[in-house]
């Protein structure tokens, strides 16, 4: 049985922006390869949700997992995980999650 992995709207927007950036700066093959890596990690995380690092310092019950230079931020939900954000590992994470809590 495979568990679910769903994306929030902000996470979907993050992923779209990242893929557009990679495609415009490298090529479509690089963007496709990154998308496949992210999808593979999401499937694994849905089946093994505790693999990721706890990130309670950013947001309660938040976890993260790296994919290349990006971080998948997610929470456990019934039957799988919900991807909250997909961001560069070089971003100021405290600022990102402070902005998100203000919304």
Give the pLDDT score at 54: 96
* pTM for the predicted model, two decimal places: 0.88
Distance CA(60)–CA(78), nearest Å, equals 17
- Both tokens of 55, joined, read 């990130």
Residue located via tokens 């405290």: 94
Fold of 4-102: YaeB-like fold (3.30.2310)
d(Cα 28, Cα 60) in Å, to the nearest integer? Answer: 36
Q: Give the dihedral of Cα atoms 37, 43, 45, 46; nearest 10 deg.
A: 160
pLDDT in tens, the chain (103 residues): 568 999 999 999 999 999 999 999 868 899 999 999 999 999 999 999 999 999 999 999 999 999 999 999 999 999 999 999 999 888 778 887 776 655 5
């Amino acid at each position: 049985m495979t568990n679910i992995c769903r994306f929030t709207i902000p996470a979907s927007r993050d992923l779209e922006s990242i893929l557009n950036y990679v495609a415009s700066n490298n090529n479509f093959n690089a963007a496709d390869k990154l998308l496949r890596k992210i999808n593979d990690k999401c499937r694994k995380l849905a089946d093994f949700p505790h693999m990721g690092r706890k990130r309670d310092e950013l947001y309660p019950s938040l976890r993260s997992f790296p994919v290349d230079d990006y971080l998948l931020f997610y929470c456990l939900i019934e039957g799988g995980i919900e991807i909250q954000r997909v961001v560069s590992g070089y971003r100021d994470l405290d600022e990102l999650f402070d902005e998100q809590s203000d919304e």
